[in-house]
Amino acid sequence: MKATFFQRFIAYIIDIMILSIILSIVAVGINTQEANDLSDSMNDVMTSYTNGDITIDEYLSQANDLSYDYQKATSIVNLISLVLSIGYFTVFQYLNKGQTIGKKLMRIKVVEKKKEPSIRSMIIRTFIINDIISSALSLALLYLLSKNAYITAYNVVAIILEGIVIVSALMILYRKDKRGIHDMLAGTEVICEKGE
């Protein structure tokens, strides 16, 4: 029996919460005062705009500059997040026969042609649906491009990723086989465990 969109969504939320807790613990000593100050500055700019103290052009200019500086200040944490995501959604899920903790709790698993998934299929799934490609690309572009070029490229990558996620969600919701883009490219499907 194919896993439902709801089962997959809840499993993903559980997994993201677990990863967020782990990342928070790992990154607690890495967060810099600079990142905190930039975050506060972004909030101040947003407040200034919502209060009508600055125009939309001033807001966009200041927000883009602060966002770029924030990305630079948090690049180590972003790299750690990337490694943790690959480890959890690829290696951990592969070693656990197609299940993350969220999938285990929801009693669903990833299979490849009715058998346990290969490491190759887990990598393809993870890189497409778990934001790995866009995160790695954004991190690389942060150091390769100028500020304005980076902001443009970052926004384009974000729009493409959002499109992939939306299309995949719609495919899972409405396709008979309940497979998203990542499932089709990896040759996998998500099914309910036997006994369901």
The per-residue b/e assignment along 47-76, b for 16 or more CB within 10 angstroms, e otherwise, is eebeeeebeeeebeebbbbbbbbbbbbbee
Closest to 79 (Cα-Cα) out of 13, 137, 162: 137
Amino acid at site 175: R
Helix axes 75-86, 56-73, angle to 10 degrees: 70
pTM of the model as a whole: 0.82
Q: pLDDT digit of tens for each residue in the chain (196 aa)? A: 899 999 999 999 999 999 999 998 888 777 678 888 999 999 999 999 999 999 999 999 999 999 999 999 889 988 999 999 999 999 999 999 999 999 999 999 999 987 889 999 999 998 888 888 888 888 999 999 999 999 999 889 889 988 998 999 999 999 999 999 999 999 999 999 875 4
